[in-house]
Structure 1
Amino acid sequence: MTPPPADAAAGRWPDGARSAVALAFDVDGPTGDAMLSGAIWRKPGYFSLGAYGPYRALPRILDLLDDAGVPATFFTPAWVVETWPDACRAVVDRGHEMAHHGYRHERYWDLTPTQQADVIARSQKIFEDVLGTPAVGFRTPSGDWHPDTPRLLLDAGFTYSSSMRGDDRPYLHEIDGTPTSLVEIPGRWDLDDYASLAYTRNPDYPSGQDRIAGYELTLDNWTREFDGHHAEGLCMTTLFHPKVSGKPGRLLLLERLLAHMRDAGDVWFATCRDVAAWWTGQEAVQHA
């Protein structure tokens, strides 16, 4: 990875902000392993757990973001865009970003480069047909990717990824030792709501977990993560899921988290797309 621009590393973000926050939600719906194996079609209850996200929780989250005046990025499998087109169009109509997250939440490390390219092309066509434009952002489903994925993303016109874990600042991906224009906006499991709030049955997930974390503890963890990012002038993004944190009680956690971050007063709230565009501009200035 290339080193970060000096001014960004020091915390000088647009408009003099000390830190950046790129709120991000993975609108997985019922996609994932059970859909890929076909098991979900034999489990109506399991299907409904996922469908709750785009059907019921997503509108709630959009209202919350409107009230807070904060933009967000929604990484969404194209199958969800096909199945809930009106809900997904509402995301764009209300000023947020829709980004790529596979077609049915495929595991990219299991796919050949040709299979990955097919998933990307199919999904981009759906984005263009339903939302009016292809995605420029990518978050790998299931947390990893194939060594050829960055090259495929560049070939398909993507400008950024939010998939890897190795930093808490954006950076440029390298291919064969050469920096590219593909920006990475790292997300960490510390800010994944699954780690604290998700529990489903049949199958049990997360495996071995018998209860969810207390809400106050969860909020305390998230606010402390923000405080640390803000103190160092970093870029924080999230791996939240509407079907997990868009429920009534948990929405209040998000409301309090947003209030805490806004109270800091010098935070740049932006979509991942805008963070990537700004970072690319900073890199250009540094190497001019």
Structure 2
Amino acid sequence: MLDGSLKGNPAYFTLGGYGPYCALPRILTMLEAYRLPATFFVPTWIVEHWPHRCRAIVEAGHEVAYHGHRHEPFWALDETQQREIMTRSQAIFRDVLDVSPVGFRTPSGDWDARTPAILGEFGVRYSSSMRGDDRPYRIEVDGHPEGLIEIPARWELDDYASLAYQRAPDFPRGLDRTAPYSQVLANWCAEFDGSYEEGLSLTTLLHPKVSARPGRMALLEAFLSHMTAHGDVWFARCNEVAEFWHRPSMQPSNPEVGHAG
């Protein structure tokens, strides 16, 4: 898959390489300035090719988690293929970064019905892949009594939806597509304000190669400034959120949970 779409397409390959090579250091510097933790869902192909950049994530105290090897669409893979990717990824994280991830975000925004059980085999305790609530929730998984905590993200907070340069669709007609940065910031802040008022969870989907361009860093910093202006917001790595939600006290007496298996 990668050989055809990346190595055979130098323009796209360099766009992907921009993320760990140029953009990631900006993100890490910004997070340090705001003293905020983060979770990075990293395809292990990236870990293999930019090990020093990825070690910097861990050395800064942030979490790394599973995101496929070559950003594969898990919904299109059979059980054997999914296990092969997880086995390879687990070994790369261990050998290169000396970490054992407990989190997973599906690269394609969807998964196969068998994926949750496979994740459990590899010690994954949470996912941030689905969209079923404004708060974390538990997914029942056959063969894994603890289940899987889902930390839902939102497409509205995916930078690809607004900031990734596209030639199509050409909207407005005749123009290439990138949303006005001021409108993107207003949308993101409105999403945060709504979640804050109701005491909910807010999870972003940000890609360094998209958001951490020089002109867009001001947008990210303004968004962080807006959120950190509230002194009673918990900024946490996803593994910390999952651990909190795994506590027995967080499970309702008659839980309404999703089921996978």
SS at match of 1:172: strand
Letter in 1 for 2:41: F
SS at match of 1:61: helix
Percent of aligned positions that are identical: 57
1:246 aligned partner: 212
1:47 to 9, 13, 16: 13
- Per the alignment, do residues 52 and 178 of structure 1 end up closer, same or farther by CA in structure 2, a change over 3 Å counting? closer
1:136 aligned partner: 102
1:157 to 119, 123, 143: 123
Contact 1:78 1:127 (8 Å CA) reproduced: yes
1:72 to 38, 41, 44: 38
1:233 aligned partner: 199
How far apart are residue 177 of structure 1 and its match?
11
Q: CA RMSD in A?
A: 1.8
Calculate the TM-score normalised by the size of structure 1.
Answer: 0.82
Contact 2:120 2:144 (8 Å CA) reproduced: no
Aligned equivalents of 2:157, 2:56: Cα separation in 1: 25
1:146 aligned partner: 112
**In the alignment, structure 1 residue 274 sits paired with structure 2 residue 237:** no
Letter in 2 for 1:84: W
Aligned equivalents of 1:196, 1:146: Cα separation in 2: 27
Letter in 1 for 2:159: D
Contact 1:173 1:180 (8 Å CA) reproduced: no
SS at match of 1:240: coil
Superposed, 1:116-127 pairs within 5 Å as 116-127=82-93
1:189 aligned partner: 155
2:2 aligned partner: 36
Deviations 1:175-212 (A, max 9, x none): 35997431000011010000110014xxx5x6555221
Aligned equivalents of 2:43, 2:106: Cα separation in 1: 10
Contact 1:173 1:179 (8 Å CA) reproduced: no
Aligned equivalents of 1:122, 1:87: Cα separation in 2: 20
1:221 aligned partner: 187
| Structure 1 stretch displaced more, 208-217 or 85-94 | 208-217
Letter in 2 for 1:42: G
- Per the alignment, do residues 285 and 185 of structure 1 end up closer, same or farther by CA in structure 2, a change over 3 Å counting? closer
Aligned equivalents of 1:175, 1:156: Cα separation in 2: 14
- Per the alignment, do residues 167 and 119 of structure 1 end up closer, same or farther by CA in structure 2, a change over 3 Å counting? same
2:132 aligned partner: 166
SS at match of 1:255: helix
Aligned equivalents of 1:215, 1:236: Cα separation in 2: 20
Which ranges of structure 2 fall in alignment gaps of 5 or more residues? 254-261
Contact 2:169 2:177 (8 Å CA) reproduced: no
1:83 to 37, 40, 49: 49
Contact 2:117 2:143 (8 Å CA) reproduced: no
Moved over 2 A (4+): 175-181, 206-210, 282-287
Aligned equivalents of 1:177, 1:229: Cα separation in 2: 34
How far apart are residue 41 of structure 1 and its match?
1.8
Superposed, 1:5-44 pairs within 5 Å as 35-36=1-2, 38-44=4-10
How far apart are residue 63 of structure 1 and its match?
0.2
- Per the alignment, do residues 45 and 228 of structure 1 end up closer, same or farther by CA in structure 2, a change over 3 Å counting? same
Aligned equivalents of 2:20, 2:209: Cα separation in 1: 8
Letter in 2 for 1:243: K
Contact 2:153 2:205 (8 Å CA) reproduced: yes
